[in-house]
Amino acid sequence: METEISKNIDKAAQLLNQGHLVAIPTETVYGLAGLFGSIETYNQIYEVKGRPSDNPLIVHIGEKSWIYDLIDSAPTSLEILLDHFFPGPLTLILKKAYHISPSLTANLPTIAIRMPSHPLALELLRKVGHPIVAPSANLSGCPSPTRAEDVLEDFNGKIPMILDGGPCQIGIESTVLSLLDNKPCILRPGIITEEAIENVLQTKLGSSGKEVLSPGMKYRHYAPKAKVSLIYPHDSVPFSSGWVLSFENELKGAIPFNHQNFYQLLRKADRENISHVFIFVGPILSKEKALMNRIQKSAGG
């Protein structure tokens, strides 16, 4: 199968409706999309990604109103969150409607839903007229893709089309927020911070505790082939042993990175056969919760 990189939305919609997988741009990372409602499509996604079957998929919606058909009941915080953060990089975990297939939710009684803000993703969703399921469009365990070329690296010849929406603006995956308990809590940190959600809801969020609540968080993730190590201000800087990255310009002489290009740099390190990537954790980076979460996971933590 030839994988085509194209901006043709009509073709992407047609392929999805025929049961094929299409990689799509979102504002966070590219997604590996399939049509909602087909167990064969879900199985195909798990197979192509090499994803463990106990890690459920996110449903993407094209209108806020689509959410109500997917969930069992609406907690009071839902309307406020939809008003403030949809469309955008926030995924909500809610009790699923009875008709949602357990193959989609990995047998959990809950469902993950988000409405992407990328104009091409929204246009596609509205053209298809149905929700789309989409995990990040990377091989399981690899850094998420933030450009069409990154998707091609992982899935060339395995999917018919990548809808090209240019580089993703945010560059790391959405914040995952559970609304299952009285106190909402963050299961995966992202660009929408705990503080931002607390401001909007006018309440403190709960803590997700020690147990794994978001199945995806237990796997080693976001990891390149290169070894990734963290270094701190008192460590000597191993400039001659590999690449040294620092958040923006925290460390002089290092390669600067930010949310947007972090995954791209990890992929580039692999293409250039860099064996060791050192990430300088200075005082500014140490406060970037979402990025620190990805960095720790890419280092195997």
In the complex, which residue's CB is closest to Mg ion? 136
Please give the Cα distance from 261 to 148 (Å, whole number).
14
Contact between 93 and ligand TXA per CB under 6 A: yes
Q: How far is the CB of 144 from Mg ion (least distance, A)?
A: 6
Residue 108 interacting entry, from ligand TXA, Mg ion, none, C-beta within 5 to 8 Å by type: ligand TXA
**Which residue, 58 or 244, has its beta carbon nearer to Mg ion?**
58
Contact between 298 and Mg ion per CB under 5 A: no
**Which residue, 61 or 251, has its beta carbon nearer to ligand TXA?**
61
C-alpha angle 67/189/66, rounded to 5°? 5
Could you give the 3-state DSSP secondary structure of residue 176?
Answer: strand
Contact between 214 and ligand TXA per CB under 6 A: yes
End-to-end CA distance of the chain: 37
Residue 93 interacting entry, from ligand TXA, Mg ion, none, C-beta within 5 to 8 Å by type: ligand TXA
Size, binding site for ligand TXA by CB under 6 A: 30
Peptide bond before residue 89 is cis, with ω within 30 degrees of 0? no
Contact between 173 and ligand TXA per CB under 6 A: yes
C-alpha angle 249/189/164, rounded to 5°? 75
Please give the Cα distance from 31 to 57 (Å, whole number).
11
Which residues ranging from 124 to 163 are in contact with ligand TXA (CB under 6 A)?
Answer: 134-136
**Which residue, 110 or 136, has its beta carbon nearer to Mg ion?**
136
Per the structure block, which two tokens stand in for 24?
Answer: 């799509």
Residue 217 interacting entry, from ligand TXA, Mg ion, none, C-beta within 5 to 8 Å by type: ligand TXA
- Which residue's entry shows tokens 């690296």? 153
- Which residue's entry shows tokens 């909007």? 200
Residue 195 class from Cβ within 10 Å (0-12 exposed, 13-18 middle, 19+ buried)? Answer: exposed
Q: Which residues in this chain contact ligand TXA in the complex, by CB under 6 A?
A: 26, 28-29, 31, 55-58, 89, 91, 93, 105, 108, 110-112, 114, 116, 134-136, 173-174, 176, 187-188, 214-217
